Amino acid sequence: MINERRFFGTNGIRFKPGIDFGLDFVIEMSEAIGTYFSKGSILVGYDGRNTSPMIAKAVMAGLMSVGLQVGEAGLSPTPALQYAIGKLGYNGGLMITASHNPPEYNGIKVMGQDGVEISREDEVKIERIFLEKSMRRADWRTVGNYQQEIKVLSTYIQGILSQVDIDLISSKRFRVVLDLGNGVQSLAAPYILENLNCEVITINSDINGEFSGRGAEPTLETLIGLSKAVKAHNADLGVGYDGDGDRSIFCDENGVIYTGDRSGAVIMDYVLSKKPKSLVVTTVSTSQIIDYVAKRYESKVLRTRVGSVDVSRKMVETKALFGIEENGGCFYAPHIPVRDGAMSTALMLECMAKRNQKLSELIKELPQFYQKKAKFACPNELKTRVMSLIERYSEGEVEKIDGIKLWIDKSSWILLRPSGTEPLIRVFAESDDEKKLEEIISRFSFIVEDSIKKCGGG
C-alpha cells in the first residue's frame, strides 16, 4: 500500500531546506526513521552542501530523541558511509545529500544494516509513522548517546584497495585526471589512486556548497574541462564524479567522454571475464550493450525500475555480481552492492592494466548503439490516462517494468515513462541504426503529443 502523501522519491527524501521544509520537518522525519529502526546505533554522514551540517545536527537530535545511539561520520562520500555502516557494525545509516541536484537542494538517504538503501516497502513504513505521528519518544534514561566516528574514510579506502590488484595497477604508473566537481569524493578517490601508484591531477577538488566549478552533475557537457585537462596533461584516463561521489563518468586518453552505460560495459566485461555465468542487474532504460556483454560470458541480465535503490535491492535479493545504470552508476557486489564512483575507478584501472589497453581501445571492442532522449510537458493528473492511450499504439513485444518499453525490432526499442518527480513524459530510444532511431523518435513524439492533447493537456 502506498501512502497518500509521499516523501521518498527515486533516491531518498529530496527537498529545498527552508523553502519546502524547515528543521521541524527534519527532526520529526528523523524521529520517524529512528522509530522504524527501533534500537541500535546509526551512522550519520553528509555531503559538502551549505545546509548539510545544519540538517545533520537536526537528524542526529531526532534519532537520539527516540533512543538511538548516533555515530557522526561528518563529511563523507555516500558510498563511503554505506560501506562503513556494515564494516564498523552499525545498525543503519543516514546520509544527508542531494547527490547531483543544484545547491539549493538537500536530502536524506536511509540505509539498512548492510549499507544498502532500505526497500521501497520500508520507505512507506517510515512515511506511515511520520504521517500518523506515532514516533516513540525517549526520556532521560533511554535517550540515545553520541560519538564521533573517525574511521569511515580509512575503512572505505582500505575496502576498495582490498578489491583490486594493487601491484598490477601500480606497475603501470597511470596518469589520471580527477574532476571532483567540488564534491565529497575529494576525500577518498585521490588517496585511493595515490595508493595505486597513479600520478593524480585533480580539478575542482575544493569541497564547497555552491559546486562552483562545473556543478554537481557530471555530464558530457559539464566535463569539457576534464576533457581538456586529460589532453593537456597527456593523461591515461579522466574521471568526473557527482556531488556525493557515487557516480563516475569516464574520459579516455584522447579526451573523449563516454556515457555511463558504455564505460560501465567496459568494467562489466572485465568483471564478468573473471567470473562468468554471473547475474547482472540494470534498469529498464539502460542500453542493450549490457545484454551483449552478458552474453559473451554466459551471464544473465535482470532489469528493474529506474532508480539505484531498485538495482541495489534486486542485487541483494538475487546475489548478483554487478549492477549498472546509464547515468554512471556501477555496483560491484564483492565490495558492496551500491553504486560507488571510486570502486568503479579502481576497477577501470585494473581492467586497463590487465588487458594492457587504453580506454579508447576497450570501448572500440563494444558494438555501437545510438540513443536519443526527448521529454514532453504533461500535467501530473493526466499522466495515467496519457500512458494508457499511448499503450494502444503498442505493437510487438511490450515490457511494463517501468512505463512502457516497446521493442520495434531485435535491436531497436523505445521507453515511454511518466517522470516520478516532474510534470513530464520522458521518451528514450535506442537502435543500432541511426536513421531508424530518428524515425522511431519522430513517430512516437507525434503519438505522445497527440495523446496528451486528446487527454486535455498540451
Sites of contact with Mg ion (CB under 5 A): 99, 242, 244, 246
- Residue 200 Cβ vs Mg ion, minimum distance, rounded to whole Å: 21
- Residue 339 Cβ vs Mg ion, minimum distance, rounded to whole Å: 8
- Residue 287 Cβ vs Mg ion, minimum distance, rounded to whole Å: 20
- Cβ neighbours of 270 (radius 10 Å): 19
Question: Between residues 82 and 282, which has the closer beta carbon with respect to Mg ion?
Answer: 82
In the bound complex, which residue of the shown chain has the CB atom lying closest to Mg ion? 99
Question: Between residues 248 and 431, which has the closer beta carbon with respect to Mg ion?
Answer: 248
- Residue 93 Cβ vs Mg ion, minimum distance, rounded to whole Å: 15
Q: Is 52 a catalytic residue?
A: no
User: CA of 405: how far to CAs of 9, 279, 376, 426, 427, in Å?
Assistant: 22, 22, 17, 12, 10
Q: Please check whether residue 169 is in contact with residue 237, taking contact to mean a CB–CB distance below 8 angstroms.
A: no
| Cell numbers for 61 | 537530535
Question: Between residues 109 and 262, which has the closer beta carbon with respect to Mg ion?
Answer: 109
Q: Per residue in 227-262, is it b (16+ CB within 10 Å) or e — as a string?
A: bebbbeeebbbbbbbbbbbbbbbbbbbebbbbbbbb
Question: Between residues 149 and 244, which has the closer beta carbon with respect to Mg ion?
Answer: 244
Question: Between residues 72 and 244, which has the closer beta carbon with respect to Mg ion?
Answer: 244
Q: Please check whether residue 97 is in contact with residue 44, taking contact to mean a CB–CB distance below 8 angstroms.
A: no
41, 52, 76, 99: which one is catalytic?
99
Question: Chain-centre distance of CA 220, in angstroms?
Answer: 17
Beta bridge partners of 111: 93, 117
Q: Which residues contact 63 (CB under 8 A, 6 or more apart)?
A: 30, 31, 33, 34, 42, 44, 70, 94, 144
Q: Which residues contact 272 (CB under 8 A, 6 or more apart)?
A: 278, 280, 293, 294, 296, 297, 299, 321, 322
Residues marked active site are found at 99
